[in-house]
Amino acid sequence: MHLKNAGYGRAVACILAAALLMSAAACRGSEALLEDGTVSDAAAVDSDSVQKEEPQTEETSGEAVANGAGAYTVAADTSESGNAYASDSADENALRVENGCTADVSGAAVEKTGDSPNGDNSARYGLDAAVLIFDGAAFTLRDSNVTSDASGADGVFAYGAGTSLTLDDTAVRTVGESSRGVTAAAGAFLQASGLVVTTRGVSAAAIRCESGGAMTFAGGTYLTGGAESPAVSSAGSVTVSDATLRANGSEAIAIESGGSVMLEDCAVSSGASPVVAFCQSATGECEAFRMSGGSLCGNGGDLFLVTDTNCSVALEGVTLARQDGILLRVRGGTCSFACSGQALDGEILTNEDSQLDLSLANGSSFVGTVNPDGAAGEVSVTLDDTSTWSLTGNAYISSFTGSVKNVVANGYAVYVDGKAITK
Protein backbone atom coordinates (compact mmCIF):
# COMPACT_ATOMS: atom_id res chain seq x y z
CA MET A 1 0.00 0.00 0.00
CA HIS A 2 1.35 3.44 -0.97
CA LEU A 3 0.87 5.95 1.84
CA LYS A 4 0.63 9.62 0.99
CA ASN A 5 1.20 10.58 4.61
CA ALA A 6 4.38 9.46 6.32
CA GLY A 7 2.93 10.18 9.75
CA TYR A 8 0.14 7.67 9.14
CA GLY A 9 2.77 5.06 8.34
CA ARG A 10 4.61 5.75 11.60
CA ALA A 11 1.35 5.59 13.57
CA VAL A 12 0.32 2.31 11.99
CA ALA A 13 3.74 0.76 12.57
CA CYS A 14 3.65 1.74 16.24
CA ILE A 15 0.10 0.51 16.83
CA LEU A 16 0.53 -2.73 14.90
CA ALA A 17 3.62 -3.53 16.93
CA ALA A 18 1.40 -3.36 20.01
CA ALA A 19 -1.20 -5.49 18.26
CA LEU A 20 1.34 -8.25 17.60
CA LEU A 21 2.25 -8.32 21.29
CA MET A 22 -1.46 -8.54 22.16
CA SER A 23 -2.09 -11.37 19.72
CA ALA A 24 0.75 -13.40 21.18
CA ALA A 25 -0.76 -13.12 24.65
CA ALA A 26 -4.43 -13.02 23.67
CA CYS A 27 -5.39 -16.20 25.54
CA ARG A 28 -2.97 -15.79 28.47
CA GLY A 29 -4.26 -12.68 30.24
CA SER A 30 -4.82 -8.96 29.96
CA GLU A 31 -2.14 -6.94 28.22
CA ALA A 32 -0.70 -3.55 29.00
CA LEU A 33 -2.31 -0.45 27.54
CA LEU A 34 -1.63 0.40 23.93
CA GLU A 35 1.34 2.28 22.53
CA ASP A 36 0.80 5.96 21.69
CA GLY A 37 0.23 6.79 18.05
CA THR A 38 2.07 9.60 16.31
CA VAL A 39 0.61 12.44 14.27
CA SER A 40 1.87 13.45 10.89
CA ASP A 41 3.62 16.75 10.20
CA ALA A 42 1.04 17.90 7.69
CA ALA A 43 0.90 21.52 6.65
CA ALA A 44 -1.31 23.71 8.81
CA VAL A 45 -4.47 25.21 7.40
CA ASP A 46 -4.13 28.90 6.65
CA SER A 47 -5.64 30.67 9.66
CA ASP A 48 -7.37 33.19 7.39
CA SER A 49 -9.47 30.37 5.93
CA VAL A 50 -10.65 28.99 9.28
CA GLN A 51 -14.21 29.96 10.10
CA LYS A 52 -15.19 29.74 13.77
CA GLU A 53 -18.89 28.97 14.13
CA GLU A 54 -21.32 29.78 16.87
CA PRO A 55 -22.89 26.70 18.48
CA GLN A 56 -25.98 25.53 16.58
CA THR A 57 -29.01 23.37 17.14
CA GLU A 58 -31.39 21.91 14.59
CA GLU A 59 -34.69 20.09 14.82
CA THR A 60 -34.72 16.41 13.86
CA SER A 61 -38.08 14.60 14.16
CA GLY A 62 -39.13 17.09 16.80
CA GLU A 63 -35.93 16.63 18.79
CA ALA A 64 -33.44 19.43 19.35
CA VAL A 65 -30.05 18.25 18.10
CA ALA A 66 -26.99 19.97 19.54
CA ASN A 67 -24.65 20.43 16.59
CA GLY A 68 -22.08 22.55 18.38
CA ALA A 69 -19.40 24.36 16.41
CA GLY A 70 -16.35 23.62 14.30
CA ALA A 71 -12.85 25.07 14.32
CA TYR A 72 -12.74 24.37 10.59
CA THR A 73 -15.95 23.71 8.68
CA VAL A 74 -16.48 22.35 5.19
CA ALA A 75 -19.91 23.32 3.86
CA ALA A 76 -19.32 23.19 0.07
CA ASP A 77 -17.93 20.60 -2.32
CA THR A 78 -14.15 20.49 -2.01
CA SER A 79 -11.01 18.37 -2.08
CA GLU A 80 -8.10 19.06 0.28
CA SER A 81 -4.76 17.38 0.92
CA GLY A 82 -1.94 17.63 3.42
CA ASN A 83 -3.60 19.99 5.90
CA ALA A 84 -3.73 20.03 9.70
CA TYR A 85 -6.94 20.66 11.62
CA ALA A 86 -7.01 21.29 15.38
CA SER A 87 -9.31 22.36 18.21
CA ASP A 88 -8.58 22.88 21.90
CA SER A 89 -12.03 24.22 22.83
CA ALA A 90 -14.81 22.34 24.60
CA ASP A 91 -17.73 21.16 22.43
CA GLU A 92 -15.97 22.09 19.22
CA ASN A 93 -14.97 19.81 16.36
CA ALA A 94 -11.52 20.17 14.87
CA LEU A 95 -12.98 19.35 11.45
CA ARG A 96 -16.65 19.22 10.57
CA VAL A 97 -18.40 18.56 7.25
CA GLU A 98 -22.02 19.62 6.73
CA ASN A 99 -24.64 21.23 4.47
CA GLY A 100 -25.08 18.20 2.20
CA CYS A 101 -21.73 18.80 0.53
CA THR A 102 -19.37 16.24 -1.00
CA ALA A 103 -15.82 16.52 0.31
CA ASP A 104 -12.55 14.58 0.12
CA VAL A 105 -9.61 15.06 2.49
CA SER A 106 -6.35 13.12 2.33
CA GLY A 107 -3.02 13.21 4.14
CA ALA A 108 -4.53 15.14 7.05
CA ALA A 109 -3.56 15.46 10.69
CA VAL A 110 -6.54 16.10 12.96
CA GLU A 111 -5.98 16.87 16.65
CA LYS A 112 -8.64 17.40 19.29
CA THR A 113 -8.22 18.54 22.90
CA GLY A 114 -10.72 20.24 25.23
CA ASP A 115 -13.03 18.10 27.37
CA SER A 116 -16.77 18.19 26.75
CA PRO A 117 -19.00 19.21 29.69
CA ASN A 118 -21.99 17.82 27.75
CA GLY A 119 -21.45 14.07 27.83
CA ASP A 120 -24.91 13.09 26.57
CA ASN A 121 -24.77 15.41 23.56
CA SER A 122 -21.24 14.29 22.75
CA ALA A 123 -22.30 10.64 22.80
CA ARG A 124 -25.50 11.20 20.80
CA TYR A 125 -24.51 13.90 18.31
CA GLY A 126 -20.70 14.03 18.17
CA LEU A 127 -20.66 17.46 19.81
CA ASP A 128 -16.95 17.28 20.79
CA ALA A 129 -15.68 14.77 18.21
CA ALA A 130 -12.42 15.42 16.43
CA VAL A 131 -14.22 14.94 13.09
CA LEU A 132 -18.00 15.33 12.69
CA ILE A 133 -19.93 14.62 9.50
CA PHE A 134 -23.66 15.44 9.50
CA ASP A 135 -26.49 17.23 7.70
CA GLY A 136 -26.47 14.86 4.71
CA ALA A 137 -22.81 15.40 3.81
CA ALA A 138 -20.77 12.79 1.93
CA PHE A 139 -17.19 12.75 3.17
CA THR A 140 -14.09 10.70 2.36
CA LEU A 141 -11.02 10.75 4.63
CA ARG A 142 -7.91 8.95 3.39
CA ASP A 143 -4.33 8.34 4.49
CA SER A 144 -4.77 10.48 7.59
CA ASN A 145 -4.26 10.61 11.37
CA VAL A 146 -7.01 11.53 13.83
CA THR A 147 -6.05 12.04 17.48
CA SER A 148 -8.38 12.91 20.38
CA ASP A 149 -6.96 13.66 23.83
CA ALA A 150 -10.10 14.78 25.66
CA SER A 151 -13.08 13.27 27.46
CA GLY A 152 -16.31 12.94 25.50
CA ALA A 153 -14.43 13.44 22.23
CA ASP A 154 -14.90 10.64 19.69
CA GLY A 155 -12.38 10.31 16.91
CA VAL A 156 -14.72 10.33 13.90
CA PHE A 157 -18.52 10.70 14.17
CA ALA A 158 -21.13 10.43 11.38
CA TYR A 159 -24.65 11.62 12.26
CA GLY A 160 -28.03 11.65 10.57
CA ALA A 161 -29.95 10.05 7.72
CA GLY A 162 -28.39 10.75 4.34
CA THR A 163 -24.95 11.31 5.85
CA SER A 164 -22.22 9.02 4.51
CA LEU A 165 -18.60 8.62 5.52
CA THR A 166 -15.78 6.70 3.84
CA LEU A 167 -12.55 6.08 5.74
CA ASP A 168 -9.52 4.54 4.03
CA ASP A 169 -6.06 3.74 5.42
CA THR A 170 -6.47 6.08 8.37
CA ALA A 171 -5.32 5.87 12.02
CA VAL A 172 -7.75 6.98 14.73
CA ARG A 173 -6.58 7.25 18.34
CA THR A 174 -8.51 8.44 21.40
CA VAL A 175 -7.28 8.71 24.98
CA GLY A 176 -10.08 10.17 27.12
CA GLU A 177 -13.06 8.71 28.91
CA SER A 178 -16.20 8.25 26.78
CA SER A 179 -14.20 8.91 23.61
CA ARG A 180 -15.05 6.25 21.06
CA GLY A 181 -12.99 5.61 17.97
CA VAL A 182 -15.48 5.71 15.08
CA THR A 183 -19.25 6.20 15.48
CA ALA A 184 -22.32 6.21 13.24
CA ALA A 185 -25.69 7.34 14.57
CA ALA A 186 -29.27 8.24 13.61
CA GLY A 187 -29.24 6.75 10.13
CA ALA A 188 -25.70 7.64 9.08
CA PHE A 189 -23.70 5.17 6.96
CA LEU A 190 -19.98 4.53 7.41
CA GLN A 191 -17.73 2.31 5.32
CA ALA A 192 -14.06 1.80 6.05
CA SER A 193 -11.02 -0.17 4.96
CA GLY A 194 -7.55 -0.55 6.39
CA LEU A 195 -8.19 1.40 9.60
CA VAL A 196 -6.12 1.24 12.78
CA VAL A 197 -8.32 2.39 15.68
CA THR A 198 -7.19 2.48 19.31
CA THR A 199 -8.87 3.81 22.43
CA ARG A 200 -7.52 3.96 26.00
CA GLY A 201 -10.31 5.45 28.11
CA VAL A 202 -13.24 3.99 30.02
CA SER A 203 -16.46 3.66 28.00
CA ALA A 204 -14.59 4.10 24.74
CA ALA A 205 -15.52 1.48 22.15
CA ALA A 206 -13.33 1.30 19.06
CA ILE A 207 -16.42 0.88 16.86
CA ARG A 208 -19.78 2.23 18.05
CA CYS A 209 -22.99 2.02 16.03
CA GLU A 210 -26.00 3.79 17.49
CA SER A 211 -29.58 2.87 16.64
CA GLY A 212 -30.30 3.49 12.97
CA GLY A 213 -26.65 3.58 11.99
CA ALA A 214 -24.93 1.17 9.60
CA MET A 215 -21.18 0.45 9.43
CA THR A 216 -19.06 -1.80 7.21
CA PHE A 217 -15.36 -2.50 7.78
CA ALA A 218 -12.87 -4.38 5.60
CA GLY A 219 -9.57 -5.26 7.23
CA GLY A 220 -7.90 -3.21 9.92
CA THR A 221 -7.11 -3.43 13.63
CA TYR A 222 -9.41 -2.25 16.44
CA LEU A 223 -8.02 -2.21 19.98
CA THR A 224 -9.33 -0.90 23.31
CA GLY A 225 -7.63 -0.60 26.67
CA GLY A 226 -10.29 0.65 29.11
CA ALA A 227 -13.10 -0.89 31.09
CA GLU A 228 -16.55 -0.93 29.44
CA SER A 229 -14.84 -0.41 26.09
CA PRO A 230 -15.76 -3.14 23.60
CA ALA A 231 -13.99 -3.42 20.29
CA VAL A 232 -17.50 -3.33 18.76
CA SER A 233 -20.59 -1.88 20.43
CA SER A 234 -23.75 -2.04 18.34
CA ALA A 235 -27.33 -0.89 18.62
CA GLY A 236 -27.38 -0.61 14.82
CA SER A 237 -25.87 -2.74 12.04
CA VAL A 238 -22.13 -3.55 11.97
CA THR A 239 -20.35 -5.80 9.46
CA VAL A 240 -16.62 -6.53 9.77
CA SER A 241 -14.37 -8.78 7.68
CA ASP A 242 -10.70 -9.79 7.86
CA ALA A 243 -9.98 -7.66 10.92
CA THR A 244 -8.44 -7.94 14.39
CA LEU A 245 -10.80 -6.96 17.24
CA ARG A 246 -9.30 -6.87 20.74
CA ALA A 247 -10.66 -5.48 24.04
CA ASN A 248 -8.26 -5.61 26.98
CA GLY A 249 -10.59 -4.57 29.81
CA SER A 250 -14.04 -5.27 28.45
CA GLU A 251 -16.17 -7.68 26.46
CA ALA A 252 -15.02 -7.67 22.85
CA ILE A 253 -18.51 -7.46 21.34
CA ALA A 254 -21.52 -5.76 22.98
CA ILE A 255 -24.94 -5.84 21.29
CA GLU A 256 -28.03 -4.00 22.53
CA SER A 257 -31.42 -2.60 21.55
CA GLY A 258 -31.95 -4.62 18.39
CA GLY A 259 -28.38 -4.23 17.17
CA SER A 260 -26.54 -6.72 14.98
CA VAL A 261 -22.92 -7.68 14.40
CA MET A 262 -21.75 -9.80 11.47
CA LEU A 263 -18.13 -10.97 11.38
CA GLU A 264 -16.25 -12.86 8.69
CA ASP A 265 -12.71 -14.21 9.12
CA CYS A 266 -11.97 -11.95 12.09
CA ALA A 267 -9.71 -12.55 15.09
CA VAL A 268 -11.73 -11.56 18.18
CA SER A 269 -10.37 -11.63 21.73
CA SER A 270 -11.10 -10.20 25.14
CA GLY A 271 -9.23 -9.75 28.40
CA ALA A 272 -12.49 -9.72 30.35
CA SER A 273 -15.66 -11.79 30.57
CA PRO A 274 -17.72 -12.31 28.51
CA VAL A 275 -16.35 -12.12 24.97
CA VAL A 276 -19.76 -11.52 23.38
CA ALA A 277 -22.47 -9.84 25.47
CA PHE A 278 -26.13 -9.38 24.60
CA CYS A 279 -27.32 -6.56 26.82
CA GLN A 280 -30.72 -6.00 28.41
CA SER A 281 -33.08 -4.35 25.94
CA ALA A 282 -35.98 -2.09 26.77
CA THR A 283 -37.30 -2.31 23.21
CA GLY A 284 -37.73 -6.08 23.05
CA GLU A 285 -36.11 -6.14 19.60
CA CYS A 286 -34.04 -9.18 18.69
CA GLU A 287 -30.27 -8.76 18.80
CA ALA A 288 -28.15 -10.76 16.37
CA PHE A 289 -24.59 -12.05 16.15
CA ARG A 290 -23.29 -13.90 13.09
CA MET A 291 -19.73 -15.14 12.66
CA SER A 292 -18.10 -17.30 10.02
CA GLY A 293 -14.45 -18.29 10.03
CA GLY A 294 -11.88 -16.60 12.22
CA SER A 295 -11.47 -17.04 15.96
CA LEU A 296 -13.18 -16.04 19.21
CA CYS A 297 -10.90 -16.14 22.23
CA GLY A 298 -11.51 -15.42 25.92
CA ASN A 299 -9.09 -15.24 28.82
CA GLY A 300 -11.62 -16.50 31.35
CA GLY A 301 -15.31 -16.45 32.14
CA ASP A 302 -18.14 -16.74 29.64
CA LEU A 303 -17.73 -16.74 25.89
CA PHE A 304 -21.38 -15.73 25.31
CA LEU A 305 -23.64 -14.01 27.83
CA VAL A 306 -27.33 -13.20 27.29
CA THR A 307 -29.03 -10.95 29.84
CA ASP A 308 -32.80 -10.32 29.73
CA THR A 309 -33.08 -9.89 25.98
CA ASN A 310 -34.04 -11.73 22.80
CA CYS A 311 -31.15 -12.72 20.58
CA SER A 312 -29.89 -15.04 17.88
CA VAL A 313 -26.40 -16.45 17.38
CA ALA A 314 -25.16 -18.19 14.22
CA LEU A 315 -21.68 -19.71 14.05
CA GLU A 316 -19.97 -21.43 11.14
CA GLY A 317 -16.40 -22.69 11.20
CA VAL A 318 -15.27 -20.41 14.04
CA THR A 319 -12.35 -21.43 16.27
CA LEU A 320 -13.54 -21.00 19.87
CA ALA A 321 -10.96 -20.81 22.67
CA ARG A 322 -11.36 -20.15 26.38
CA GLN A 323 -9.23 -20.80 29.44
CA ASP A 324 -12.16 -21.61 31.71
CA GLY A 325 -15.71 -20.51 32.33
CA ILE A 326 -18.95 -21.10 30.50
CA LEU A 327 -19.51 -21.51 26.77
CA LEU A 328 -22.98 -19.89 26.85
CA ARG A 329 -24.91 -18.41 29.76
CA VAL A 330 -28.52 -17.24 29.35
CA ARG A 331 -29.85 -15.12 32.22
CA GLY A 332 -33.35 -14.22 31.14
CA GLY A 333 -34.83 -13.76 27.68
CA THR A 334 -34.66 -16.03 24.65
CA CYS A 335 -31.69 -17.22 22.63
CA SER A 336 -31.49 -19.07 19.34
CA PHE A 337 -28.01 -20.60 19.01
CA ALA A 338 -27.47 -22.16 15.57
CA CYS A 339 -24.28 -23.95 14.49
CA SER A 340 -23.27 -25.11 11.03
CA GLY A 341 -19.98 -26.94 10.60
CA GLN A 342 -19.11 -25.69 14.08
CA ALA A 343 -17.25 -27.27 17.01
CA LEU A 344 -18.49 -26.37 20.51
CA ASP A 345 -16.79 -27.24 23.79
CA GLY A 346 -17.99 -26.36 27.31
CA GLU A 347 -21.03 -25.92 29.52
CA ILE A 348 -24.26 -24.18 28.65
CA LEU A 349 -26.28 -22.74 31.53
CA THR A 350 -29.74 -21.16 31.60
CA ASN A 351 -31.91 -19.86 34.43
CA GLU A 352 -35.62 -20.26 35.13
CA ASP A 353 -36.55 -17.17 33.10
CA SER A 354 -34.74 -18.29 29.95
CA GLN A 355 -35.54 -20.03 26.71
CA LEU A 356 -32.78 -21.57 24.59
CA ASP A 357 -32.97 -23.28 21.20
CA LEU A 358 -29.66 -24.98 20.37
CA SER A 359 -29.24 -26.53 16.92
CA LEU A 360 -26.25 -28.34 15.44
CA ALA A 361 -26.11 -29.05 11.71
CA ASN A 362 -23.77 -29.84 8.82
CA GLY A 363 -21.15 -31.77 10.74
CA SER A 364 -21.23 -29.73 13.93
CA SER A 365 -20.05 -31.22 17.22
CA PHE A 366 -20.70 -30.36 20.87
CA VAL A 367 -18.46 -31.67 23.62
CA GLY A 368 -20.13 -30.54 26.82
CA THR A 369 -23.38 -30.43 28.71
CA VAL A 370 -26.44 -28.31 29.43
CA ASN A 371 -27.59 -27.40 32.96
CA PRO A 372 -25.74 -30.25 34.72
CA ASP A 373 -27.20 -29.28 38.10
CA GLY A 374 -30.81 -29.68 36.97
CA ALA A 375 -33.45 -28.31 34.68
CA ALA A 376 -33.88 -24.54 34.39
CA GLY A 377 -35.97 -22.65 31.88
CA GLU A 378 -36.97 -24.07 28.50
CA VAL A 379 -34.11 -25.69 26.55
CA SER A 380 -34.47 -27.48 23.23
CA VAL A 381 -31.64 -29.26 21.44
CA THR A 382 -31.71 -30.29 17.77
CA LEU A 383 -29.09 -32.53 16.12
CA ASP A 384 -29.14 -33.32 12.43
CA ASP A 385 -27.88 -36.67 11.18
CA THR A 386 -24.37 -35.32 10.53
CA SER A 387 -23.80 -33.76 13.95
CA THR A 388 -22.83 -35.18 17.36
CA TRP A 389 -23.09 -34.41 21.06
CA SER A 390 -20.50 -35.90 23.44
CA LEU A 391 -21.56 -35.52 27.08
CA THR A 392 -19.20 -34.31 29.80
CA GLY A 393 -21.92 -34.43 32.47
CA ASN A 394 -25.63 -35.08 32.84
CA ALA A 395 -27.75 -32.72 30.76
CA TYR A 396 -31.23 -31.49 31.67
CA ILE A 397 -33.32 -30.10 28.81
CA SER A 398 -36.96 -29.68 27.77
CA SER A 399 -36.96 -31.25 24.32
CA PHE A 400 -34.66 -33.17 21.99
CA THR A 401 -34.93 -33.56 18.22
CA GLY A 402 -32.65 -35.96 16.35
CA SER A 403 -31.19 -39.41 16.72
CA VAL A 404 -30.10 -40.50 20.18
CA LYS A 405 -27.42 -42.54 18.38
CA ASN A 406 -25.62 -39.24 17.71
CA VAL A 407 -25.28 -38.63 21.45
CA VAL A 408 -22.13 -40.11 23.02
CA ALA A 409 -23.08 -40.68 26.66
CA ASN A 410 -19.63 -41.23 28.23
CA GLY A 411 -21.40 -42.59 31.32
CA TYR A 412 -23.80 -39.64 31.57
CA ALA A 413 -27.37 -39.10 30.41
CA VAL A 414 -29.56 -36.57 28.67
CA TYR A 415 -32.75 -35.96 30.66
CA VAL A 416 -35.81 -34.55 28.86
CA ASP A 417 -38.39 -33.31 31.34
CA GLY A 418 -36.73 -35.51 33.96
CA LYS A 419 -36.63 -38.71 31.88
CA ALA A 420 -33.34 -40.13 30.59
CA ILE A 421 -33.31 -40.64 26.82
CA THR A 422 -29.77 -42.06 26.66
CA LYS A 423 -28.25 -45.13 28.22
| Tens-binned pLDDT, residue by residue, of the chain (423 aa) | 333 343 444 444 444 444 434 444 444 443 444 444 333 333 344 333 344 444 454 444 444 456 689 999 999 999 999 999 999 999 999 999 999 999 999 999 999 999 988 778 889 999 999 999 999 999 999 999 999 999 999 999 999 999 999 999 999 999 999 999 999 999 999 999 999 999 999 999 999 999 999 999 999 999 999 999 999 999 999 999 999 999 999 999 999 989 999 999 999 999 988 999 999 877 778 999 999 999 999 987 899 999 999 999 999 999 999 877 899 999 999 999 999 999 999 999 999 999 999 999 999 999 999 999 999 999 999 999 999 999 999 999 999 999 999 999 999 999 999 999 997
pLDDT at 65: 52
Do 230 and 336 belong to one domain? no
Q: What CA–CA distance (Å, rounded) separates 122 from 227?
A: 19
Do 201 and 332 belong to one domain? no
Residue 305 lies in a domain: no
In the chain, the number of structural domains is: 2
Residue 358 lies in a domain: yes
| DSSP string of 185-227, one letter each residue | ETT-EEEEES-EEEE-STT--SEEE-TT-EEEEES-EEEEEEE
Q: What is the domain range of residue 190? A: 6-241
Residue 402 lies in a domain: yes
Q: Which residues contact 324 (CB under 8 A, 6 or more apart)?
A: 300, 301
Do 336 and 216 belong to one domain? no
pLDDT at 66: 62
Q: What CA–CA distance (Å, rounded) separates 256 from 72?
A: 34
Do 188 and 51 belong to one domain? yes
pLDDT at 392: 97
Do 370 and 230 belong to one domain? no
What are the CB-based long-range contacts (under 8 Å, 24+) for 62-71?
A: 65/125, 65/159, 66/118, 66/121, 66/125, 66/127, 67/98, 67/125, 67/127, 67/134, 67/135, 68/92, 68/93, 68/121, 68/125, 68/127, 68/128, 68/132, 69/93, 70/94, 70/95, 70/96, 70/132, 71/95
Residue ranges of the alpha helices (H) in 84-226?
Answer: 119-125
Sheet architecture: strand order including 56-60? 56-60, 63-70, 92-93
Final residue before a domain boundary, out of 241, 269, 288: 241
Final residue before a domain boundary, out of 221, 241, 261: 241
Residue 321 lies in a domain: no
Do 204 and 72 belong to one domain? yes
Residue 161 lies in a domain: yes
Do 203 and 337 belong to one domain? no
pLDDT at 153: 97
Final residue before a domain boundary, out of 241, 267, 290: 241
Residue 69, strand partner residues:
92
Residue 39 lies in a domain: yes
Residue 269, strand partner residues:
246, 297
